[in-house]
Each structure stands twice: as structure tokens, then as C-alpha cells.
Structure 1
């Protein structure tokens, strides 16, 4: 059971783990031992996820999410299979925990009258400086 929050847990039978060989340096150990973990979690068809959480997770523009709604995490940071397995599970839990809380709606506001005046005043000053730098300014003298 992968515990995400006190109210949300994902059973182990919804997680599919595949062990593959790691890439990168490591010599003989890397070439013969399958220490990397590929963790798959079907977000689209998971009965454990509440509907709002599922929708927020699917709405993320994440390259780890396939077209079928399966989240694929690859972990190969550590030398042991067990540690990579823990790492993949922790990353999945962190990803789901990040979408548990709904983002606050932004309340549209307007700039104050003073802020508008300051902005326009700064634009006028800048325009004056640029106008004085132009070639026509030298002609006038």
C-alpha cells in the first residue's frame, strides 16, 4: 500500500513494476544486474483516485503520462534495485500529493489610479530621453 495522505492510499496491485538494466557508467554490474525500475500507474482507470485529483493529474502537461492515461516513472539513480524501487514510489507519491490540493482561483484586480499614473509618467520620461538621443535632436542645435 502506497500512502499519499491520511485519506488517500494506492494499493500495490494498481502499481506495475518492471526491472530493467540501468544506463550509464557502472561496468559489469550495470551490464548484468537489472537495478533500474520502471513504475507504471494507470491514472485514468484507477479506482483509488478521487475524480478531481484524477482530472488535475491528467490535465498536467507531463511527458511521463502516456496517451492511454498511464503514468510511467523510471528510477535508476541508485545502485540497488530496492532503493530505486523506493525512489520511484516516493516520486509517484510526491506527484500525486502535489495535485491533491486544488489551486486557488485568481481574483482579477485592476491597477490603482496612482499605479497607472506612475507607469505613464515613467513612459513619458523614457520617451523624452530617447527623443533627445535621436539624430534629429543634433540637427536642431
Structure 2
């Protein structure tokens, strides 16, 4: 259940951004994924489209349709804010960071890493006491 204060805050934010309910196309889609029989039988996934900008939002964060409606509108406001202010979203930045981390290293980068390891190994070998032959 969404508190009236949160609902009012969202409506105020939508008004500031110039989002009118009449400009939104809302559909309820059959849920999918984890959640068992309940999620697979109910149309709790919310699809929102803001017609002036063409932004499309799908929200299935909860099993509750009302909560998903609220979250979809909130997500739409976040997306419109990003467009207006021209900044990258946190979610997009995190996805980009993960993509960079998973990217294969270049051949030159691998060679440099191996060379650094060899140098470190040589340094460690020089630390051994002089009398031992291992």
C-alpha cells in the first residue's frame, strides 16, 4: 500500500515535469519470472508509455499491481529528469561499469600484466637468503 503522502509527492513531481495522465498509455501485462503461480496468472506487470516523448517503462518489481503502477510512474519521472538535465542515470552508469569490467583485455594489456608479474617474481627471488638452493 502506498501512503497518501508518497502518492501526493509523485503527483506533484509529475505536474512539475509536465506529465499529464491523459498523455500516458497504460497497459497491464501478464507477469513472468520468479514468484510462482501467483505472478504467472495475474496481469500485474505495468507498461507505461509517455506519448509526447515516446518513453516506454515496464515495471514488475512487485506482485501488487498498484505498487507497480506507482513505481512505473516514478521511473518515468526519473527518466524524464535524466533527459531534461542531460545526465546519465545511475543504472546506466552501473551497467556500463559492469560491461567494462567484463570486457576482454587487449593482447597488449595481457602482455604488460604478465611482464609486471615476471618483474615482481624476480624481485621476490632476490629476497631469498643466499645459502639456500630450492
Q: TM-score, normalised by structure 2?
A: 0.50
Ranges in structure 1 where 5+ consecutive residues have no aligned partner:
45-69, 104-141
Aligned to 2:23: 14
1:38 maps onto 2:22 in alignment: no
Greater shift after overlay, 23-32 or 10-19? 23-32
Q: 1:23 to 1:102 in 2, by over 3 A?
A: closer
Q: Does the C-alpha gap of structure 1 residues 80 and 102 become closer, same or farther in structure 2, counting only changes over 3 Å?
A: closer
How many matched pairs?
A: 78
RMSD (CA atoms): 2.3
Q: What residue number does 1:91 align with?
A: 75
From 37, 58, 63, the equivalent of 1:28 is: 37
Alignment correspondent of 2:56:
72
Partner secondary structure for residue 28 of structure 1: helix
**Higher normalized helix content (fraction of residues):** 2
Residue-by-residue CA offset, 1:31-53 (whole Å, 9 max, x unaligned): 22111001011135xxxxxxxxx
Q: Pick 1 or 2: higher relative contact order, CA cutoff 8 A, min separation 6.
A: 1
Measured after TM superposition, the shift of residue 8 of structure 1 is: 3.1
The gaps in structure 2 that reach 5 residues or longer are 1-9, 88-134
TM-score normalised by the chain length of structure 1: 0.48
Q: Per-residue displacement from partner, 1:28-87 (whole Å, max 9, x unpaired)?
A: 21122111001011135xxxxxxxxxxxxxxxxxxxxxxxxx221100011100111111
Structure richer in strand, relative to its length? 1
Q: Which whole-Å CA distance do the structure 2 matches of 1:35 and 1:15 have between them? A: 17
